[in-house]
A and B are shown apart, each in its own frame.
Chain A
Amino acid sequence: MTSLTLVRRIRARPSIVFDALTMPEGIACWWGPDDGPVLLAETDLRVGGRFRVRFRMLDGSEHESSGEYLEVVRPERLTMSWRWMDGEDPGESLVEIDLRAIAEGTELTFTHSRLHDEETRRSHEAGWNGSLDKLERHFLAASNGDRHDQA
């Protein structure tokens, strides 16, 4: 399974970070890859509830993703399935967020995992995980040397 892990240390308590991750007004302020606007943010924050977020990028393109909340443990852990509406990356992936209280506030560990539904493919690719994790670390270290990213 391929996965991306990012870590941030945030000077805010976990409950505030958790709400920023899950409440539409918070999502509207940060979601998306650039400073383009969030056009729609809906969350039904309970296990089995769904979220839907649509945003526009600075290049004018609009994208929408949605999914289901799988674990909702405020303020420690949030997991959700993830799917792009326009099928640009077909299939479902998994987002896991853990919030840990630290002296300065919160350590947020964010993981986005690609899921392979065919069991055979998974076992075939199992061997790639280690080197991917390693390359991922190199890649993230190279592109985000000043941040707390880890594989």
Chain B
Amino acid sequence: MHEPLDRTFAALVDPTRRAILARLEREDSASVSELARPFAIKLPAVMKHLDVLADAGLITRSKLGRTVTVRLAPEPMREAMDWLRRYERFWSAGLDRLAAYAEGKEAEAREKDR
């Protein structure tokens, strides 16, 4: 269960990969060679970074002829964050009220036990 989690953390930890993601966020899409240009590393090393990002579900790659176009995969992330926010709003205040209610009941029970 922790394996994908570890994989994604590993993907985000590397500064080169974070730079690639940040660029894809700005530019929507880029070819592999465009992505490689700003870095002082060789193309195969960039390809390896892209493999890690793709395995973690953070980017998609599509090939047209000899050009591989890389895109950020933001939709599942956005959708999931919306879902999280919504349920966080729903439950957080409720659980605070639940705590207050249970603490009142606890005080009543202790009063009785006395």
Asked whether, in the complex, the Cβ of A135 is within 8 Å of the Cβ of B81, the reply is: yes
The smallest C-beta distance from B100 to any residue of chain A, in angstroms, reads: 8
Tell which of A17, A134, A143 touches B102, judged by Cβ atoms closer than 8 Å: A17
User: In the docked arrangement, what's the CA distance between A127 and B56, Å?
Assistant: 4
Note all chain A residues with C-beta closer than 8 A to B106.
11-13, 16, 105
Note all chain B residues with C-beta closer than 8 A to A112.
87, 91
Note all chain B residues with C-beta closer than 8 A to A126.
4, 57
The smallest C-beta distance from B4 to any residue of chain A, in angstroms, reads: 4
- In chain B between 5 and 19, which residues have their CB closer than 8 angstroms to a CB of chain A? 5-9, 11-12
**Stretch binding the partner chain, chosen from A31-39, A44-52, A66-74:** A31-39
- In chain A between 100 and 144, which residues have their CB closer than 8 angstroms to a CB of chain B? 105-106, 108, 110, 112, 114, 124-136, 139-140, 143-144
User: In the docked arrangement, what's the CA distance between A126 and B101, Å?
Assistant: 38
Note all chain A residues with C-beta closer than 8 A to B26.
none
Note all chain A residues with C-beta closer than 8 A to B6.
130
Asked whether, in the complex, the Cβ of A30 is within 8 Å of the Cβ of B57, the reply is: no
Give the interface of B toward A (CB within 8 A): 4-9, 11-12, 55-58, 76-77, 80-81, 83-103, 105-106, 109
